A and B are shown apart, each in its own frame.
Chain A
């Protein structure tokens, strides 16, 4: 089966940088996605890594190391609106491209 681990909560200061880690165990690994979810809202896609290395999209970057079964989401120049839950999700084979979500990291940005 698949399992993912990420910290349950992280607090960071506005304007700072924060890294949210995700370790996973899976078979048939395709890649790692990241989603943002504000309280009461729907998850929105942030990034996807299929290959090792860093992918940058504006203030957000995502990193993957397939050999270490590890990835992280890096948020720079934190803004208050970045306060949300962040989920990593493993995409793996299983008859179709199965997506398994982690339990999420609640990020609180403080002034």
Chain B
């Protein structure tokens, strides 16, 4: 079955540590996205990538970094510079022609204390 996997589902880190969230897709989608969701809020775009080796900042990129070395993979690093990293992180992908229909992974809930 095609889909998006994110791991781990729950992640706990101490303040000051960098942490990398995994996102893998086997849908053969060109575009991939990272969103952050806070309680009672919508999804805010962190980074997106339309093709391998290229990515762009979204609305809230400060304190985050990404890489896109393979079409299937788009890992997100939450750095110690992110002031309020505790949140639910969602990875998504779309076919090149259809940003309107985003396929989401199950999400990673990050807690930083």
Q: A residues within 8 Å of B by Cβ?
A: 4, 8, 30-31, 33, 35, 41-45, 48, 50, 87, 89, 91, 95-104
> In the bound complex, what is the Cα–Cα distance between A20 and B105 (angstroms)?
25
Given the complex, which residues of A lie within 8 Å of B48, measured CB to CB? 96
The answer to whether A104 touches B99, judged by C-beta atoms less than 8 angstroms apart, is no
Whether A42 lies near B100 (C-beta < 8 A) is no
Main secondary structure of the interface of B (DSSP, over half): strand
Do A87 and B43 contact each other (CB < 8 Å), given the known contacts A96-B48, A96-B50? yes
Given A96-B50, A103-B42, verify A45-B106 contact (CB < 8 Å).
no
Q: Is the Cβ of B43 less than 8 Å from the Cβ of A48?
A: no
Interface size on B, residues (CB 8 A): 22
B8 to chain A, nearest CB (A): 15
Q: Is the CB of B100 within 8 A of A103?
A: no
A104-B41, A104-B42 known; A33 and B90 CB under 8 Å? no
B103-A45 in contact (CB<8A): yes
Q: How far is the CB of A99 from chain B (nearest CB, A)?
A: 6
Known A30-B100, A45-B101; further 7 A-B contacts with Cβ < 8 A: A33-B102, A42-B106, A43-B90, A48-B100, A95-B56, A98-B99, A99-B99
Inter-chain CA distance A35–B90, complex, in Å, is 14
Q: Indicate whether A101 sits within 8 Å of B100 (C-beta atoms), given known contacts A41-B106, A42-B107.
A: no
**In residues 8-67 of chain B, which contact A (Cβ within 8 Å)?**
31, 33, 35, 40-45, 48, 50, 56
In the complex, A43→B101 CA distance in Å? 11
Residues from chain A with a CB closer than 8 A to the CB of B104 are 42-44
Contact between B90 and A97 (Cβ–Cβ < 8 Å)?
Answer: no
Which residues from chain B contact A99 at a C-beta distance below 8 Å?
33, 45, 99-100, 102
